[in-house]
Chain A
Amino acid sequence: MINALLEALQFGFMRNALVAGALVSIACGVIGTFVVVKRMVFVSGGIAHAAYGGIGLGYFLDGRTINVCERVLNVRVNPVLGAIVFSLAAALGMGTVQRKTRQRADTLIGVMWAIGMALGIVFVDLTESYKVDLMSYLFGSILAVPRSDLLIMLALDGVVITLVALFYKELLAVSFDETFATVENVPVDAIYIILLCMIALTVVMMMRVVGLIMVIALLTMPAAISAQFVKDIGKMMVLASVLGVIFTTTGLWLSYFLNLTSGATIILVSGAVYLLSLVVTHVTGGQGDDTRTSGPESQAAEDKESALA
């Protein structure tokens, strides 16, 4: 078994895949934590699907020649770059919609979600060249991640971690209590938009690994599992990142040995652990955190409170 593992590591694609899984898991753990605690799963889904439009556009523009001021330019566009642009635009659009029009925000997000995907499909229709690769963005192609994409992922990880570190206290305040944050003169709208943009970047990274259809699952499950065992955002991010690395690595090995689609296998591994964690929490009737009060303890807390007078 060990030998087989080492043997697989001799393949460059396997090494790249493992590194990609780890890099994505870090951003995923950090941003997924905010998505889970602030209940932004639907918006994240919208951003992920809108990003597909960017991929379509990237394919459409790639390899085209355009005339600019008498000069012929050969356009080279990486579809990932297109996805980044589109997902950021979607994040800004959805963020604005959510802030400005309180009602029907979910409808508008659903509409943008669909328009993004439709644009992607139409752009691909308009592209004469080879199209099979497009499926890899829908279902993931972690085994085909080139070195250049690893560098993009590393850079995005850096951006996400730096931004979260810089704005940590504001992100926490906006997630926990927007009204109070506003009263304390925190630029709530700007912080929210920054958060959406970070979601957009993370989602683009993840598309390579599990495909955009399953992005949401990998974004939320490690964080949701962590939330059951730790009661602190910082710890939740670390634990979620670690879990993400474990899930992607395990999923990759399983898919390698069982000859299954890697993205789907990773999701199934995460899902199985998530369900298991739900059962464990339910059976033990409490959370791993020793500070939780329940039953007689919370009665004691009430008594103490009354005695405080």
Chain B
Amino acid sequence: MSRQDTPHAAQELITIRHLWAGYDHEPVLEDVNLSVKELDFVGLIGPNGGGKTTLLKVLLGLLPPMRGEVRVMGLSVEKGRRYVGYVPQSVEFDRDFPIRVWDVARMGRLGKRRLLQRYTRRDGEIVAQALTDVGMLDLRDRPIGALSGGQRQRVYIARALAAQPRILLLDEPMASVDAQVSTTLYELLGRLNERVTILMISHDMGAVSSYVKTVGCLSRRLFYHGDKQLTSDMVAAAYGCPIDLIAHGVPHRVFPEHTAPEQERPEVAHLEARE
């Protein structure tokens, strides 16, 4: 249970202190604390209804917190979010929408341009670089509806990168892709993590790969200690899993290596077997 070692005192990019948030006075998140430092790669997993989306909404300034403090780059979320590249779930989209890859990626430049201001040549270069980073420049003229799930996810990542963010915020990035594609996507994220900080949420425990540096469980409360591995009490608290798993009292290494076949999404029950 060693702390994630930090080579140098990294800057804190996301700070969440005693956050309570929810809808209609009904809290979904209770007393959440989180600190994300420069070049972290944090994976938060949790069951559906555990407040993952709510946490993202708060971080993006789409939902005001009920209580507590949220800072992005030391700023309020509304100001800090221009340093955030948001990658939404690619399943929530209109396949018939007539738009090409290039135009989607270029939306990442919106925050840098004011109303009535045109995109510049520089914007074009940045968008081209972002599409190159994700290996999608060749398909720049494709309609977005003609892409596969993994390709679409890459375009969304490119769009986020076009904003030249310090932090990438990913919502269920592996939701619509198969295991093979998810491996290549993780390799992409691993490469990107050399220059940007990544915070990723997922309902799927099998989705967190070894590229993720630290993991946490979110289920109303956040169980996160900056560790590489999920501990049994984190899982237990988040998923309410069987007592005997907790009885071991030792951290379970959930995902030994990312090359392991992922045809079976490991459920909580499989954790013990994988030990």
Contacts and interface: CB of A to CB of B under 8 A. Distances in A.
Interface of A: 37, 39, 166-167, 169-170, 172-173, 175-177, 179-187, 227, 230-233, 236, 289, 291-294, 298, 301-302, 305-306, 308-309
B184 interface: yes
Contacts of A233: 98-99
A102 to B, nearest CB: 11
A169 B60 CA distance: 21
Contacts of B81: 183, 185
A301 B151 contact: yes
A179 B32 CA distance: 23
B181 interface: yes
Which secondary structure dominates chain A's binding surface? helix
Contacts of B141: 291
Contact of B110 (A37, A186, A227): A186
Nearest to B156: A180
Interface stretch (B112-120, B194-202, B226-234): B112-120
A175 B60 CA distance: 19
Contacts of A180: 86, 88, 107, 159
Interface stretch (B14-22, B142-150, B247-255): B142-150
A291 to B, nearest CB: 5
B62 interface: yes
5 nearest A-B pairs in the assembled complex, by CB-CB distance: A231-B143, A184-B111, A184-B110, A309-B184, A293-B146
A181 B143 contact: no
Nearest to B119: A169
A187 B107 contact: no
A230 B99 CA distance: 9
Given A187-B115, A306-B184, A170 B110 contact: yes
B200 to A, nearest CB: 16
A180 B160 CA distance: 9
Contacts of B183: 309
Contact of B60 (A172, A177, A183): A183
A226 to B, nearest CB: 8
The residue among B86, B88, B97, B100 with the most chain A CB atoms within 10 A of its own CB is B97
A169 B113 contact: yes
Interface residues of B, number: 44
B99 A232 contact: yes
Contacts of A294: 146
A181 B107 contact: yes
A306 B180 contact: yes
15 contacts: A173-B110, A176-B104, A177-B88, A177-B93, A180-B159, A181-B107, A231-B98, A231-B100, A236-B98, A291-B141, A292-B146, A294-B146, A298-B146, A302-B148, A305-B148
Given A183-B60, A183-B61, A291-B146, A176 B110 contact: no
A165 to B, nearest CB: 10
Interface of B: 60-62, 78, 81-82, 84, 86, 88, 93-94, 96-100, 103-104, 107-108, 110-111, 113, 115-116, 118-119, 135, 141-143, 145-148, 150-151, 159, 163, 180-181, 183-184, 187
A305 B181 contact: yes
Contacts of A187: 115
B104 A184 contact: no
Contacts of B143: 231-232, 289, 291-292
B115 A305 contact: no
A179 B84 CA distance: 13
A130 to B, nearest CB: 47
A39 B96 CA distance: 11
A294 to B, nearest CB: 8
B86 A231 contact: no
A298 B181 CA distance: 14
A301 B136 CA distance: 11
Nearest to A185: B111
A276 B146 CA distance: 23
B159 A176 contact: no
A179 B141 CA distance: 24
B127 to A, nearest CB: 13
Contacts of B148: 298, 301-302, 305
A183 B146 contact: no
A182 B184 contact: no
Nearest to A297: B146
Contacts of B118: 169
Given A37-B97, A184-B82, A231-B99, 9 more contacts: A167-B115, A183-B62, A185-B78, A185-B81, A185-B111, A232-B98, A293-B142, A301-B147, A302-B148
A51 B40 CA distance: 56
B98 A182 contact: no
B146 A184 contact: no
A169 B110 contact: yes
Contacts of B113: 169
Contacts of B142: 291, 293
B99 A172 contact: yes
